[in-house]
Chain A
Amino acid sequence: MKKDFNAIRKFLLLLGLGVLISLASIRHWYTGGTFSFFWDSYVPLDIYNSFQHLYYYWHENIFPGFESAGWSWLLYWGLISGGQKVLMSLSLAQASLYILLLSSSIISFYYFAAYLSSKLFSNGTENKGLNVGIAAFAVMYTFNLFTFYYGYFMFNPDIFIFSFLPLNILALCRLFPLDRETQPSRSMRWFLTFFVTAFLMSPGFSVYVFMGQYYVWLTVYLFLYWFFVYRAVRRSGAVQVVSFLGLAILVNWWWLYPSLLGFKDLYNAQSVLGTTIWFERGFTPSRLLNSMRLIGIPLMMSNLFSWTGYFIKNSWFTFPLFVFPALIIFVIRKIGDYRHRLILFYLFGIYLVSLFLVKFSNPPLAWLTKFAFDYIPFFGAFRDSYQKAGVFYLFALFSIATVGYVHISALISSKGNRLLRVGFLTLVVCMFIVTTSPFFLFSYDNIRKISFDYNGKTHTISAKTKIPPEYSSAKPVLEEACKGTTIAVIPRSGWISSAEWVKYGTSYVGQDFLARTINCNFLTSVILNTSSEASIEAPYHMLQQADLTLLKQYLMQNKVGIVLLRKDYVPYFPTSWLHTDSARVRPMIEKDGGFEKFYENDFLAAYRLLPLKDDRNYGFSLTSTVVFTNATLTTGSQYAMLSRQVGDSSPFVTLTSEKEYLEQKNDINAFVPVLNCIGCVTIDWENYLANRKEPPLTQVKTVIKKLIGWKSKRTPEEALSFGLIEMHTEFLKLMDVIKDTDSDKARMQLAAYTKSLETLEIQLSSLTGDFFAVNQKNMEARHFLGVQYNILTDYLQLFYRREKPKKTVLDDERLRSQIVYISALQDDIYERLSSKIFATDFRKGIYRGRLDIPFSGSYACEVRSLVRGVQVNMVTLQNAVRESTVSGKFDPMELEKGSYPVSITYESAVRNFPSFSTEGESRKAKAALGNLDNGTYRLTFDYPSVLSGKFMVVISAGEISRSILSSNTGTDDFKRQIIFLDTPVSATLAPTAEYDHTFHINSLQADTYYLYLFPLERYSAENPVLAKEIKNSSVGSVIQEGDIEFSCSSRKEAPPLEQTISVTKLSPTHYRMYLTGEKAGNHLIFNQTYSYEWQATAMVNGKEHVFPHARSGYANSWLLNNRDARIIDITYRRQRLIEKSALISTVMLVLAILMYIRVYKIHE
């Protein structure tokens, strides 16, 4: 009885301590009714809206829709929404959740650490002083740099794992103790604790890599138990262990199975950037010296606070953190001495494996991690390894450190050395202060703020925010108005948006407030879905060009019925996409008769597009217009072009692939061919080919083929491609031998390479066939020859400059002259090919491409430059110059089916010739470039070759002043000011070298740009003055692929629409469409992102009819091929599967738990 009372008293004491400390640490985040909201923290701002998004796997509110996996957050959102409902405040609800998680973390870790001590030390934790110490470690486990950055300052559900993992492992230890002296507990209390905490961790498991690690470590634990304990006691016993593991997996199956269904799509989206790219970049802050002491967290580097410098620069401040590795080392040295040490082995296993992952690309054995990134499937999930492996790493680290602390304290107590005790405690206290400092010592500045300049004014965005009343008052009006239609928000922001509410002194940057608070479909950015994102960029391109007529046409084609102007948006680089100032758009819209304003407050103004006023069909529309285009539709400008070429405001089906063309050839009644640029994509052939060596396997194959005299049947084109590779191999061999001293070998190789060159010339001259195919082969050969010529002449230059001291075959004059002649031969063939090649020449201002006409007929074509300041002069098509109107349109022309070469000459109007000046006695040179619009520019100038590598070119936004030396300037600020940085290096032997480089400007505000030249050589009175030495400098805008658009259209009359529809939304994944009209054959379009899961079915004569589904651009289309179908159900099939799966797995889990309890006699 007394024992129970003491246990309850201890629990209440811990609870009180936990709540008090938690309250003290976060109180100031919530004063004034605010809540914490930053970047991608998911906070359910509106309960109904949030649960709808959580429950349905198709998110249609962020138009044009995407699927996501997320039932695992049910608990998180349930807790915060429940809190909001009860407490009537989102601020209090979030604060309560924080306090719950923080105090749970303290209590949970305390009990685990106490258990650990009781197992490892004979006297356990009877000492009150030790209890206080363990509690201090529990506080450190809860409040540290990792939890601050990865859990609380920007809320992340992985903190659920952090809070409940110790209790979960404690329950596991009770049920399956890793020592042979303790009987496994059959207590229902521990059994339930395990499964309840496993459920409580589920919000954190939405990041699968956390869940994967949890199950791996759980399996390891159960294996250790079976191997060292169970097997020793009973011969059999694997069944119970395996059953338990099965149950543990089943606990998360209800949400995991649906997520796995979408895993392929998620993986495809996430792997767009590749996985090894993260590893190649590396990350020094997670090096062992930091990781073992808990500092260097990646997020610390990108989220600077006023105190970050203490951790990054001040080595004495972080010195006490050496106590962590010291405690760990103490324990591992004594590991053989502990009573029940198996649990320690287990914890050390977690610690060392996780630490190896946490250190990422840093030594030791980084190649092993690289190998894993390269070859182990899904290992790329560890790309932000500090976080991904950090949760388990920190659990193990703090557990072992607590053991170390208890052990050392006991040792010191037994020795009775007061000085030692004071010294040790002082170190631990210092470590405590530093570890918990982001929450306590630095609490004066632990709310994330971002400051940025826009139009000369500094704006600050804070993570402490609240929803302004204007959004709440707009909610009912917009929700009523947006039923069945979509809202285009101006200016365009993204999934992550921002706002500044000066009126209330609040602001935010994070998940779009509009889409999160108001239950409507908002045209915004769908992350990592190129085609859909391109489609919604189109209207903003039109706005940038102030083309309101085309904008209206696009909105009608895509059923976007409302335009919402935001007045609270200040352009901030990471949240701004194709910025258009809403103040500039507003008068245009208000003057236009096509819009009607229906709502306005201080932050928002909403306009209805009148022609779509009564169209409430949720993005569904019927059409008989089917368009085929060869445009890739990967950019907004291409969608804008398509919209313009189709020409009317009715929706249309868009086909882009050859497969779709063949399937629906008879239905197509409009063709929109676009010019494909030839020679626009520049590949760095030099790097690609310079070190290309045949892999060993290919070398073996080549030898075998030569031995058996095997010859494959190749077309002339294939033979040429293989011939090029063989020639290049011979060339690389030649380069190897001329760097050596064996003249005979060099002569033989020279003969082999000369022969391959001659073969190439014969192959090229005998090449016949299609103009574009021959052209492609000529370009291919030119790439190889260009690279070979450059490699060879570079080496010859080094030889003549005597920069290669080693003796080589080039010292043989005869051989040298032969090699020089070879380079001349390469150049000769290169020039001959160049004169024949049809390709874009940016230097001469000629854009060339191929126009594929799929169907003979009359085509209306147009040419447009998408770069301001670049003007099209002349277009040559079918070897004839075509005259266009001022707007770039041509008279309709008759074109036969086939491919046509098109040449477009253009001129860059933006070209300035900067003149350099020298300030005072300074040797640096400066030139003003004036205001430059966003775009790509080419900088060219001539300079004396002797200055190669001896000066630096810098282009900056605004003048560079001493302020860039300020330590407060973060890396981002520096990058924003410095647009371009380079050091001209030339290998030419001529006295003057040419510098030619492009740079890119992408700024939200108009800036004046400057070009600087900084000397990089030792001071000498004889050094030339840069401003005088640089000649013929120029800066002009350049164009790239797609910057000049040439497109045509040919239309046949579309059959009349004889059906009408009305649509009811049953849920975001289920719509019901009522069809009227007798004739079938129309196409149904649904303007949500294409997914094969969307299905249209109808019950016809008691049977289910499934309509053929196809992709239409980014969207969905169906051919309505059954005239008897009157009611059509359009469903997102996965939702039904998910609901069934959740039900079945929940029932199975309950049954399995009951069976386990019965079989293994789990009782009270």
Chain B
Amino acid sequence: MNNNLPIIVTMSNSLYARWPFLILYYEMVRAILGLSYAVIYGFIAVMFLLRVKIENMLLVFFGITIISYVFGQEVEANHYMSFVFGFMVLLLLTRAYALFHGDVQKKKYKNFR
């Protein structure tokens, strides 16, 4: 572990910040604090702070959806599905931006084809 890196980067690179663990953390927080917007948005904020990739956040929420569904919490599962949808839109927009940006760059330097 490189001790010169900021702690947040160290944490985000850690094995324990991978998406299966994030699902576990969420379920623990959810069990302790109950279901509320503060918990969900707080959790999302923490993921952003930890520099978790949007595609992984998407996986986390999809995982939470399935877990809630399996435990018969369909209303809650539907709630998480909204976040799955939201992250899908966000992911597509970031990828589309990259595509557009890349295209503009290539045209700018006229080295395409």
Residues of A within 8 A of B (CB): 180, 228, 232-233, 287-290, 292, 315, 319, 322, 325-326, 328-329, 332-333, 335-336, 341-342, 345, 348-349, 352, 355-356, 362-364
Q: How far is the CA of A438 from the CA of B95 in the complex (A)?
A: 38
Q: How far is the CA of A349 from the CA of B91 in the complex (A)?
A: 12
Q: How far is the CA of A901 from the CA of B96 in the complex (A)?
A: 73
Chain A: CB-nearest residue to B53:
A333
Q: How far is the CB of A885 from chain B (nearest CB, A)?
A: 66
Q: A329-B59, A349-B92, A362-B78 are in contact. List 20 more A-B contacts (CB 8 A).
A: A228-B99, A228-B103, A232-B112, A288-B78, A288-B81, A288-B82, A292-B84, A315-B69, A329-B84, A332-B58, A333-B55, A333-B58, A333-B91, A335-B92, A345-B92, A352-B85, A352-B89, A363-B79, A363-B82, A364-B82
Chain A hits for B91, CB < 8 A: 332-333, 335
Over the window 2-30 of chain B, the binary record of Cβ atoms lying under 8 Å from chain A Cβ atoms (1 yes, 0 no) is 00000000000000000000000000000
Known: A288-B81, A364-B82. A329 touches B66 (CB 8 A): no
Q: How far is the CB of B37 from chain A (nearest CB, A)?
A: 12
Is B89 a contact of A325 with CB atoms below 8 Å?
Answer: no
Is B95 a contact of A336 with CB atoms below 8 Å?
Answer: yes
Which residue of A289, A292, A328, A335 is within 8 Å of B95 (Cβ)?
A335
Chain B: CB-nearest residue to A348:
B92
Is A364 a contact of B88 with CB atoms below 8 Å?
Answer: no
Chain A: CB-nearest residue to B83:
A364
Provide 16 A-B residue pairs closer than 8 Å at the C-beta atoms, listed in order of the A residue.
A180-B113, A228-B103, A288-B81, A289-B78, A292-B85, A319-B69, A322-B66, A325-B62, A328-B88, A333-B55, A333-B59, A336-B95, A345-B92, A345-B95, A345-B99, A364-B83
Chain B hits for A329, CB < 8 A: 58-59, 62, 84, 88
Q: How far is the CA of A335 from the CA of B89 in the complex (A)?
A: 13
Q: How far is the CB of A330 from chain B (nearest CB, A)?
A: 9
Which residue of B70, B74, B106 is within 8 Å of A289 (Cβ)?
B74
Q: How far is the CA of A363 from the CA of B84 in the complex (A)?
A: 12
Chain A hits for B113, CB < 8 A: 180, 232-233
Over the window 70-113 of chain B, the binary record of Cβ atoms lying under 8 Å from chain A Cβ atoms (1 yes, 0 no) is 10101001110111111011011001101100010011000011
The CB with the most chain A CB atoms within 10 A, among B85, B89, B98, B107, is that of B85
Chain A hits for B62, CB < 8 A: 325-326, 329
Q: How far is the CA of A232 from the CA of B95 in the complex (A)?
A: 20
Known: A289-B69, A315-B69. A325 touches B84 (CB 8 A): yes
Q: How far is the CA of A349 from the CA of B78 in the complex (A)?
A: 22
Chain A: CB-nearest residue to B85:
A288
Residues of B within 8 A of A (CB): 55, 58-59, 62, 65-66, 69-70, 72, 74, 77-79, 81-86, 88-89, 91-92, 95-96, 98-99, 103, 106-107, 112-113
Is B99 a contact of A342 with CB atoms below 8 Å?
Answer: yes
The CB with the most chain A CB atoms within 10 A, among B69, B86, B107, is that of B69
10 interchain residue pairs of minimum CB distance: A289-B78, A364-B82, A288-B81, A333-B55, A289-B81, A287-B78, A363-B82, A335-B95, A348-B92, A289-B77
Q: How far is the CB of A392 from chain B (nearest CB, A)?
A: 16
Known: A232-B112, A289-B69. A364 touches B86 (CB 8 A): yes
Is A364 a contact of B85 with CB atoms below 8 Å?
Answer: yes
Chain B hits for A292, CB < 8 A: 81, 84-85
Which residue of A315, A333, A342, A355 is within 8 Å of B85 (Cβ)?
A355
Chain A: CB-nearest residue to B69:
A315
Q: How far is the CB of B98 from chain A (nearest CB, A)?
A: 7
Q: How far is the CB of A319 from chain B (nearest CB, A)?
A: 8
Is B85 a contact of A345 with CB atoms below 8 Å?
Answer: no
Q: How far is the CB of A178 from chain B (nearest CB, A)?
A: 11
Q: How far is the CA of A228 from the CA of B96 in the complex (A)?
A: 12
Q: How far is the CB of B72 from chain A (nearest CB, A)?
A: 7
Known: A341-B99, A352-B92, A364-B85. A332 touches B72 (CB 8 A): no
Q: How far is the CA of A336 from the CA of B101 in the complex (A)?
A: 13
Chain A hits for B88, CB < 8 A: 328-329, 332, 348, 352
Q: How far is the CA of A89 from the CA of B108 in the complex (A)?
A: 66
Q: How far is the CA of A345 from the CA of B97 in the complex (A)?
A: 11
Chain B hits for A355, CB < 8 A: 85
Q: How far is the CA of A326 from the CA of B63 in the complex (A)?
A: 10
Q: How far is the CA of A287 from the CA of B58 in the complex (A)?
A: 18
Q: How far is the CA of A610 from the CA of B72 in the complex (A)?
A: 70
Q: How far is the CB of A348 from chain B (nearest CB, A)?
A: 5
Q: How far is the CA of A232 from the CA of B103 in the complex (A)?
A: 9
Chain B hits for A228, CB < 8 A: 99, 103
Chain B hits for A233, CB < 8 A: 113
Q: How far is the CA of A335 from the CA of B103 in the complex (A)?
A: 16
Chain A hits for B59, CB < 8 A: 329, 333
Is B96 a contact of A345 with CB atoms below 8 Å?
Answer: yes
Chain A hits for B98, CB < 8 A: 336
Known: A329-B88, A352-B88, A364-B86. A315 touches B72 (CB 8 A): yes
Q: How far is the CB of A563 from chain B (nearest CB, A)?
A: 56
Q: How far is the CA of A355 from the CA of B85 in the complex (A)?
A: 9
Chain A: CB-nearest residue to B112:
A232
Q: How far is the CB of B63 from chain A (nearest CB, A)?
A: 10
Q: How far is the CA of A342 from the CA of B102 in the complex (A)?
A: 13
Q: How far is the CB of A332 from chain B (nearest CB, A)?
A: 6
Chain A hits for B96, CB < 8 A: 345
Q: How far is the CB of A237 from chain B (nearest CB, A)?
A: 14
Q: How far is the CB of B28 from chain A (nearest CB, A)?
A: 23
Q: How far is the CA of A336 from the CA of B82 in the complex (A)?
A: 23
Chain B hits for A332, CB < 8 A: 55, 58, 88, 91-92
Chain A: CB-nearest residue to B93:
A352
Chain A hits for B82, CB < 8 A: 288, 363-364
Q: How far is the CA of A325 from the CA of B55 in the complex (A)?
A: 14
Q: How far is the CB of A917 from chain B (nearest CB, A)?
A: 42
Chain A hits for B79, CB < 8 A: 363
Is A289 a contact of B92 with CB atoms below 8 Å?
Answer: no
Q: How far is the CA of A290 from the CA of B84 in the complex (A)?
A: 13
Q: How far is the CA of A201 from the CA of B69 in the complex (A)?
A: 39
The CB with the most chain A CB atoms within 10 A, among B55, B78, B83, is that of B78
Chain A hits for B84, CB < 8 A: 288, 292, 325, 329
Q: How far is the CB of B60 from chain A (nearest CB, A)?
A: 11
Q: How far is the CA of A349 from the CA of B96 in the complex (A)?
A: 10
Q: How far is the CA of A234 from the CA of B26 in the complex (A)?
A: 52
Chain B hits for A180, CB < 8 A: 112-113
Chain A: CB-nearest residue to B96:
A345
Chain A hits for B99, CB < 8 A: 228, 341-342, 345
Chain B hits for A345, CB < 8 A: 92, 95-96, 99
Q: How far is the CB of A195 from chain B (nearest CB, A)?
A: 30
Chain B: CB-nearest residue to A336:
B95
Chain A hits for B106, CB < 8 A: 232
Q: How far is the CB of B78 from chain A (nearest CB, A)?
A: 4
Chain A hits for B58, CB < 8 A: 329, 332-333
Q: How far is the CB of A360 from chain B (nearest CB, A)?
A: 13
Is B95 a contact of A315 with CB atoms below 8 Å?
Answer: no
Q: How far is the CB of A927 from chain B (nearest CB, A)?
A: 40
Chain A hits for B92, CB < 8 A: 332, 335, 345, 348-349, 352
The CB with the most chain B CB atoms within 10 A, among A180, A289, A335, is that of A289
Chain A: CB-nearest residue to B58:
A329
Q: How far is the CB of A314 from chain B (nearest CB, A)?
A: 12
Chain A hits for B89, CB < 8 A: 352
Known: A322-B66, A332-B58, A345-B95. A315 touches B74 (CB 8 A): yes
Q: How far is the CA of A342 from the CA of B82 in the complex (A)?
A: 25
Q: How far is the CB of A711 from chain B (nearest CB, A)?
A: 52
Q: How far is the CA of A315 from the CA of B68 in the complex (A)?
A: 12
Q: How far is the CA of A232 from the CA of B99 in the complex (A)?
A: 14
Chain A: CB-nearest residue to B76:
A289
Q: How far is the CB of B59 from chain A (nearest CB, A)?
A: 7
Chain A: CB-nearest residue to B92:
A348
Q: How far is the CA of A355 from the CA of B81 in the complex (A)?
A: 12
Chain B hits for A315, CB < 8 A: 69, 72, 74
Chain B hits for A342, CB < 8 A: 99
